[in-house]
Structure 1
Amino acid sequence: MSKVLVLYYSAYGHIAAMAAAAAEGARQAGASVATRRVPELLDDAAARQAGHRPDDTAVASVEELAGFDAILFGMPTRFGNMASQMKHFLDRCGGLWVRNALVGRVGSVFTSSGSQHGGQEHTLLAMQASLQHLGMVIVGLPYSFRGQTRMDEITGGSPYGATTLAATASGGWRQPSANELEGARHQGRHVAEIAAALARGGLGRPRDCA
């Protein structure tokens, strides 16, 4: 059984919904799954003023990342890049990097944006670059998920990872669609299956790591 962590930052609930779907998919593949969020950088008053949705999911510590075979990272797009809360969390992973503690673990990414062309793919690729510096094996969302080829509706999704569109052209909130949630679910299953295969082959944890 592989151990999978779904680690996310979500201000308005869209990424939290995608994280729940990714976790469900990983469990469907037989993985042991934990869900955590990264710390909020805004104080409570500023978060309330910005309309952030309350979230009682447990906050992750940097050190616990080393205990998982695979990690799915989810965060919204901010001007074509990852949200500062996720970047701040990754910037604290120097100790893991020095010890090669995440080398050979599976890393995967999903995101959201407020428009159809809101920098989703750049955010996913930029995040993947950070994970490669940590030595993680990058896994995306393959075209075995046929939902990302749909032309009958506006939908997120890319080979680099599942995505959702958080707002409509009129500015109203839009929740993840069934197709977008299925993309996250498919990605969770795919990541868990690959992590299990690597673990069976003895490739997921380098010998010089705890």
Structure 2
Amino acid sequence: MAPVLVLYYSHKGATRNMAYKIATGVEMAGLEAQIRTVPPVTNHFDNELAAVPDSGDPYVSRDDLVACSGLALGSPTRFGNMAAAMKYFWDGTSHEWLSAALAGKPACVFTSSSTMHGGQESTLLSMQLPLLHHGMVFIGLPYSEPALNKTTTGGTPYGVSHVAGMQGNTSLSDDEQQLCIAQGKRLANIARLLGA
């Protein structure tokens, strides 16, 4: 099967850490996880970004997106919405929308924020919108996951979440790690069932 794409944007590393835990879950379920990021949005018009980042994960390509068997999409919370860099990426996917390249593929979302009530759920909902427009099959995180019922940190039925703290340096809690892994496993298993 084609890899499951774990696509994220991260500023201080919390969302990136979640991406790697979700990828662990995908691989525990027997599928390959392909981790990619999106370039930052900048208003420095004189400075062009390199096609490949100097360090960290590669930037996503259109081929990565079209070829995936499933998608986990992650962004930090920005005023209750996905970060501009992630929104900018999705705003450029009209060709994939017109060709229905993502239709029928399973997708899930994840986010991190500085505070417990920093707009995590609205961010997760906002990230679902382009996926639904692309015809993807959205999957949440069910309460049959024990950590979702007992967490006092991050975690929602809309997708995995993390409370990173005001400095962005709070590690993933045990519950958050378990939920990330569970989300990755669920995505991989549904991708396999759908044969996407």
Supply the AA of the counterpart residue of 1:30: G
User: Aligned partners of 1:55, 1:134: CA distance in 2, in Å?
Assistant: 31
Change (3 A) 1:100 1:157: same
Post-superposition offset of 1:144: 2.2
Normalised TM-score (structure 1): 0.84
Post-superposition offset of 1:62: 2.6
Report sequence identity in percent. Answer: 42
The within-5 A match list for 1:61-210 is 61-150=61-150, 154-167=152-165, 173-199=169-195, 204=196
Runs of 5+ unmatched residues, structure 2: 45-53
User: Aligned partners of 2:93, 2:168: CA distance in 1, in Å?
Assistant: 36
Per the alignment, residue 5 of structure 1 pairs with 5
Per the alignment, residue 26 of structure 2 pairs with 26
SS across alignment from 2:165: coil
Post-superposition offset of 1:43: 7.4
Change (3 A) 1:71 1:185: same
Supply the AA of the counterpart residue of 2:163: L
Conserved? CA contact 1:164–1:176, under 8 Å: yes
Supply the AA of the counterpart residue of 2:13: G
Supply the AA of the counterpart residue of 1:35: I
Conserved? CA contact 2:66–2:101, under 8 Å: yes
User: Aligned partners of 1:77, 1:18: CA distance in 2, in Å?
Assistant: 13
Post-superposition offset of 1:64: 2.3
Supply the AA of the counterpart residue of 1:155: T
SS across alignment from 1:35: strand
Conserved? CA contact 2:140–2:158, under 8 Å: yes
Supply the AA of the counterpart residue of 1:82: M
SS across alignment from 2:117: coil
Normalised TM-score (structure 2): 0.90
User: Aligned partners of 1:192, 1:72: CA distance in 2, in Å?
Assistant: 10
Name which one, 1 or 2, has greater alpha-carbon Rg.
1
Q: Deviations over 1:69-90 (max 9, x none)?
A: 1010011000000000100000
SS across alignment from 1:26: helix
Runs of 5+ unmatched residues, structure 1: 45-53, 205-210
Conserved? CA contact 1:148–1:155, under 8 Å: no
Conserved? CA contact 1:167–1:174, under 8 Å: yes
User: Aligned partners of 2:55, 2:116: CA distance in 1, in Å?
Assistant: 26
User: Aligned partners of 2:55, 2:164: CA distance in 1, in Å?
Assistant: 18
Q: Number of aligned residue pairs: give it.
A: 187
Supply the AA of the counterpart residue of 2:91: D
Q: Deviations over 1:10-47 (max 9, x none)?
A: 11010111000000000000001110001112379xxx
Q: Deviations over 1:152-196 (max 9, x none)?
A: xx310000000000105xx67312212111111100000000000
Q: Which contiguous aligned blocks of 4+ residues in structure 1 show a shift greater than 3 angstroms?
A: none
Conserved? CA contact 1:62–1:89, under 8 Å: no
SS across alignment from 1:41: coil
RMSD (Å) for aligned C-alpha atoms: 1.7
